[in-house]
Structure 1
């Protein structure tokens, strides 16, 4: 439930909120939440192919699999093998919960503030995220987003714009890798994230060459999976597992800004390699191309682990990174649709199919990791 704003007058809005008005707003909101919750999208993903499972069962490693030390055998014995962990968690794609937008009950006819807070304060930029937050962002008044203010009423209004939200940590030498090698891995991780989630051509369905180009070509199964997903999307090969895309024949961005928030860290693993962990959320304000001016936001959270290894010790391509794991949550996109595009729901869309039965989740809550025990049921998001 939304918190009640202060009873003290807001000098910027020129109005205060009476108990009667606030109670009416709460009652209307709770009623509309129950009535208008749309169907939540769900998607599934599996990355380990049958061929790999069969080879692993036989104890056989495919050509190009990383082994260490790759350049010789030690004392006549076979080198110890290292397996690449490439598990793709089941993504939870969740649809928008449409809240009754009644800003006039809170602010009279003045749209200059969210939740009774002056707009200049509500939209002041947040400092970069350096650790997991302790809680979800505060609730805000359900202000209707517009073409001029596509992030109105959203915590993302205070997030950084695009690539500015991906701040690299300071690189240090770690394990057997130099500071320069670690720094290169961090830059490559950012390049992958930017191309996969922010590049205008990628967003409109283009091929993300930069993102694909930083992945080690020896990781053939990952590259084959992504190639297939981009060429012929289906339930088992969905480009949305890694890339954010929309159909430009149906949608366009409201403006040229995608909001970004997250953090990047790195550490040595038990094998002496360095793993870069990236956890970022992107907020896309969409509008239809049919002349409508309604704005609907889709929220995509991506969590990736990318590994860089010493090419002297392991069979890797210098200057490239391995995708160890990736997972995602997509809020407000069509359920059981596998054409490779995001499909946000708009408030004017007709409800199709049964009401969602899955859990409710706040897509702006970055205080917890992505739930690995999620079901595949359709659910709802508490806000967009």
Structure 2
């Protein structure tokens, strides 16, 4: 900025010098003209250059000199020039209009806002996309999108204490091959063995944590093979379940073996195993619903005592492949088992003693003791004796199964 200004001043001075030289040259020529011989003057004897020309020349020269003279810069111009000179001496550059502290602070705030929106925006976009794909996730399902969704029922958490009331009534709906649990509280229950949740093992009495864990595992194995194994449900022999029973326990295992071979009213294998006649009934899908709980404590015979209370819901259809009618059979079982100390009692390691086994069978023909469950379908004539007992809710797990047991076949409030 200073160098161009200095160059401009030098150019002005050079211009003035040229004009002065030109003026002096012109005057010198006039003087030389005036000194010539009289023969160079006009015929009247007057000078060749009139006085008015000399006066005009003097005025023009004076005006040109004044206009070409350098002007005194203003105070502001001098201040700007001085500031630029100092800035150049420090080797810096003038501050840009967007590099001042105020602009830098504004840019910092804008950057923070963009970063905040980036942090919030990504989860928000994901949430919007999920809700767009499945609006029924919104609380209350404001778009009523769950009515046709087979998996619309929310899964219930595991049962950890005895219920105090039966489950609420589900929306009336007819079970189908695609939705076999429609209209049932079991639609929100766990699938199969996932509903048998084993509690965390801990030492009790003289039994170690490992021994308690073994007792819990054996109890679950018995329940799964007796009530959820597809082979057992089709009427096959429940080999794994029988293997959990201690052969040294008087009569029990031998009795179960005999009951499976020759079922009857006094020796019905349905007291421990869930079985359907494959010539009459087929299971719908691969899933039975399960809900219940398992607890443990120290037993009387230096043992671990395990209490299990579970309800199993089976969707079934007639064996005819062309039939689309679906119903459900509900079985509740309560077991008390022990794993005794083999060093103190006659017990087989790795097996169970069954001390109690109660059951409640819902939607199975009355007074039929052939070792199979016989679901009743609306499209078929009922088999067995008509129900004469009180009306009960097979989903009510708050009832004491032992006190509510009767010798008569009752009516069901729902299936």
Deviation (angstroms), 1:354: 6.9
Provide Cα deviations, 1:146-194, integer angstroms capped at 9, x if missing partner: 0000000000000000000001001111111111111011000000000
Residue 413 of structure 2 aligns with which residue? Answer: 382
Tell me if structure 1 keeps the 8 A contact 2:368–2:384: no
Secondary structure of residue in 2 paired with 1:210: helix
Provide Cα deviations, 1:229-274, integer angstroms capped at 9, x if missing partner: 1111111111111000001111111111000000000011344322
With a CA cutoff of 8 Å and minimum separation of 6, indicate the structure with the bigger relative contact order: 1
Distance 1:360 1:208, change over 3 A: same
Residue 62 of structure 2 aligns with which residue? Answer: none
Tell me if structure 2 keeps the 8 A contact 1:188–1:214: yes
2:219 corresponds to 1:189: yes
Deviation (angstroms), 1:350: 2.5
Provide Cα deviations, 1:16-40, integer angstroms capped at 9, x if missing partner: xxxxxxxxxxxxxxxxxxxxxxxxx
**Whole-angstrom CA distance in 2 between matches of 1:175 and 1:336:** 44
Match of 1:286 among 316, 319, 324: 316
**Unmatched 5+ residue regions in structure 2?**
1-139
Match of 1:310 among 320, 337, 341: 341
Deviation (angstroms), 1:373: 5.8
Bigger shift: residues 353-362 or 287-296: 353-362
Residue 148 of structure 2 aligns with which residue? Answer: 112
**Whole-angstrom CA distance in 2 between matches of 1:247 and 1:319:** 32
Provide Cα deviations, 1:91-144, integer angstroms capped at 9, x if missing partner: xxxxxxxxxxxxxxxxxxx9527xxxxx76x51111111111121110122200
RMSD: 2.0
**Whole-angstrom CA distance in 2 between matches of 1:365 and 1:325:** 21
Match of 1:297 among 305, 313, 328: 328
Larger Rg: 2
Query: Which runs of structure 1 show a deviation greater than 4 angstroms over 4 or more consecutive aligned residues?
Result: 351-355
Residue 199 of structure 1 aligns with which residue? Answer: 229
**Unmatched 5+ residue regions in structure 1?**
1-8, 15-109, 114-118
Match of 1:155 among 185, 198, 220: 185
Q: What number of residue pairs does the alignment pair up?
A: 275
Secondary structure of residue in 2 paired with 1:264: strand
Tell me if structure 2 keeps the 8 A contact 1:13–1:112: no
**Whole-angstrom CA distance in 2 between matches of 1:360 and 1:371:** 16
1:68-107 aligned within 5 A: none
Residue 362 of structure 2 aligns with which residue? Answer: 331
Distance 1:318 1:352, change over 3 A: closer
Distance 1:373 1:254, change over 3 A: closer
2:203 corresponds to 1:173: yes
Deviation (angstroms), 1:316: 1.0
**Whole-angstrom CA distance in 1 between matches of 2:390 and 2:220:** 32
Residue 20 of structure 2 aligns with which residue? Answer: none
Secondary structure of residue in 1 paired with 2:372: coil
Compute the TM-score of the two structures, normalised by the length of structure 2.
0.63
